[in-house]
Structure 1
Amino acid sequence: MLRTALDASDVAQARRVLCDLDGCLISEGRPFADSAEFIAECGARLWIVSNNSDTTALLLSAKLASLGLDIPARRILLAGEVALLRIARLGLMRLRLHASPALVEAARDLGFDTAHPAPQAALLCRDPAFGINDFGPLLNLASDAPLWVANEDLSHPSHSGQPVAETGALLAALRAIRPGLRWQSPGKPNPLMLTLALGDLDPAQAIFVGDNPATDGRAARAAGLPFLHLQRAATPQKDAMT
């Protein structure tokens, strides 16, 4: 199903509505004109499932509320936070973390030691401060410890349709230096976050709304969900690594 705008009637039969964030509900921190009505009509059925890796669900919920979009943190799944939780479950608490201050604080609240000289794992999120001097140390660490990448998106669209660099752009640079680099990512197209949002619900009773077939669409297929492709006018699809 392809649409150019959000319309709650398209998801009226779904018991749970999973929705991407950037390019669907907001862009560059601003909501689209149809977002508030869509969120209100979906109500408690709506969950955000996003590859965002520079904030937390609590902070994002507060930010959305300031924009007139009411989505509680318990119904928001973000790739950066999910990655931290998965790594914590593995017991790898000495972590080299390249992320925004909000994610670094979240990691420390979870008990991670982000300053240990011998990390057990590394996590790369969307980090505007990540510079050329960080490439070598991270690649050297990745030879001995598992590398996690929050998501593989190269970019997401601005409100005017221009690309905004994402975590996958940093990963692409690392792969250019070391083509055999190995990593794992909980972000879409991995269906992990979708299955977490579904819980025990039958996937056939839900729907996923996203703007990128290469990540959102693939994740929906892998999780067994119907997919509503939102392709907003004058807004290009997000790039993704294959």
Structure 2
Amino acid sequence: MTDIRRFPSGQRATDDAPIPQPALPPWRAPAWRYIVDLDGTLIRDGAAMPGAAALLEALQGRYAIVSNNSTDTAAGMSRKLRRMGLPVAPEQLVLAGEMTVNWLRRTSPEARVLLLGSPALRRHAKRIGCQLVEQGADVVLLARDPDFNYGKLALAANVLRAGARLVVTNPDLSHPGDNGTCVPETGALLAALTACAGVDPECIIGKPADALFHEGLRRLQVSPAQALMIGDNPATDAAGAVAMGMSYLLLGTGSGAEAETPAQLLNTWCAGRTALHAMLNSA
């Protein structure tokens, strides 16, 4: 007797036919390519979030990590992620700090730069030929500087008041830490600096501006319409994606989030959003 199995959809499978596999959620359709955020989406406080490794495995070969991280280089972050159990190659990482230094070196190769940033970012700048100075700077490059203090604030403010240009890696005020805490970000330092110097940035490279998105799309070799942004920050990830013509999904606990963690997202039936959530527009 032929063995016949019935399925909720009314489909039937016999011993001679394959058993239908469960359909994937719309956001996991094979045609999508993914721009994935880092802090608050895959990692938090130096550890992988629940389900982060499984999410990257599910998206394998179809994603680029595009982050407003301005303290690490791609090579250094790749090593950190591997220690967290997330095997991500440097070529899959697009980081705001490194991208800003590269852009400045390419567009202003003779500039004298006062760089407020991490030791790793300073080493990268020196390695590619940037001229770092403490006095007489043409450009103040502001990144997330863990050692930012009153002396650095006074130095940078007066350099700007003397006519230097201000270039900023990213506008974030903070990113999520552990147990509901926040980690102060470049945008918080920027607020102090602009209050003292009375100048606005010439440019901000990180999301929601389009430079990092364009680089991620270039590496994936797709158009914005073919890419889905997965992030946690409405003001940078969602707003930037919509401005680019991309779809997006948000993680977190706020209004408009589809799931709290990557693990929950993998089991969530949803499609990418193409417009900002009403609550995000009013935020």
> Of residues 119, 131, 138 in structure 1, which corresponds to 2:149?
131
Structure 2: segments with no counterpart, 5+ residues: 1-23, 254-258, 262-282
Listed one character per residue, the Cα deviations across residues 158-183 of structure 1 (whole Å, up to 9, x for unaligned) are 13221111111111112332444334
Q: Distance in 2 between the 1:161 and 1:14 partners?
A: 35
> Of residues 76, 81, 99 in structure 2, which corresponds to 1:59?
76
Q: What residue in structure 1 maps to residue 216 of structure 2?
A: 197
C-alpha displacement at 1:211, in angstroms? 0.6
C-alpha displacement at 1:131, in angstroms? 0.8
Are 1:98 and 2:98 counterparts?
no
* TM-score, with length taken from structure 1: 0.88
1:167-186, aligned counterparts within 5 Å? 167-186=186-205
Partner SS state of residue 227, structure 1: strand
> Of residues 219, 227, 241 in structure 1, which corresponds to 2:248?
227
Report if the CA contact (8 A) 1:203-1:224 is conserved.
Answer: yes
Are 1:164 and 2:183 counterparts?
yes
Report if the CA contact (8 A) 2:158-2:197 is conserved.
Answer: no
Report if the CA contact (8 A) 2:160-2:166 is conserved.
Answer: yes
C-alpha displacement at 1:234, in angstroms? 7.5
Q: What residue in structure 2 maps to residue 217 of structure 1?
A: 238
Q: Distance in 2 between the 1:135 and 1:216 partners?
A: 29
Q: Distance in 2 between the 1:180 and 1:110 partners?
A: 28
Q: What residue in structure 2 maps to residue 50 of structure 1?
A: 67
The AA in structure 1 aligned to 2:249 is L
Q: What residue in structure 1 maps to residue 10 of structure 2?
A: none
Partner SS state of residue 179, structure 2: coil
Partner SS state of residue 43, structure 1: coil
Q: What residue in structure 1 maps to residue 206 of structure 2?
A: 187
> Of residues 150, 155, 158 in structure 2, which corresponds to 1:140?
158
Residue-pair matches, total: 229
The AA in structure 2 aligned to 1:35 is A
Partner SS state of residue 44, structure 1: coil
1:75-86, aligned counterparts within 5 Å? 75-86=92-103
Q: What residue in structure 2 maps to residue 114 of structure 1?
A: 132
Q: Distance in 1 between the 2:245 and 2:165 partners?
A: 29
Q: Distance in 1 between the 2:48 and 2:201 partners?
A: 36
Partner SS state of residue 180, structure 2: coil
Q: What residue in structure 2 maps to residue 89 of structure 1?
A: 106
Once the two structures are aligned, what percentage of the paired residues are identical? 38
Report if the CA contact (8 A) 1:79-1:150 is conserved.
Answer: yes
Report if the CA contact (8 A) 2:167-2:203 is conserved.
Answer: yes
Partner SS state of residue 86, structure 1: helix
Q: Distance in 2 between the 1:194 and 1:48 partners?
A: 10
Partner SS state of residue 129, structure 1: coil
The AA in structure 2 aligned to 1:29 is G
Q: Distance in 1 between the 2:190 and 2:39 partners?
A: 20
Q: Distance in 2 between the 1:78 and 1:12 partners?
A: 26
The AA in structure 1 aligned to 2:92 is R
Q: Distance in 2 between the 1:55 and 1:176 partners?
A: 27
Report if the CA contact (8 A) 1:161-1:234 is conserved.
Answer: no
1:19-38, aligned counterparts within 5 Å? 19-38=36-55
Spell out structure 1 runs of 4+ moving beyond 6 A: none
Q: Distance in 1 between the 2:39 and 2:208 partners?
A: 15
C-alpha displacement at 1:116, in angstroms? 6.2
Q: What residue in structure 1 maps to residue 170 of structure 2?
A: 151
Greater alpha carbon shift after TM alignment, 135-144 vs 31-40:
135-144
Q: What residue in structure 1 maps to residue 273 of structure 2?
A: none
C-alpha displacement at 1:134, in angstroms? 1.5
The AA in structure 1 aligned to 2:192 is A
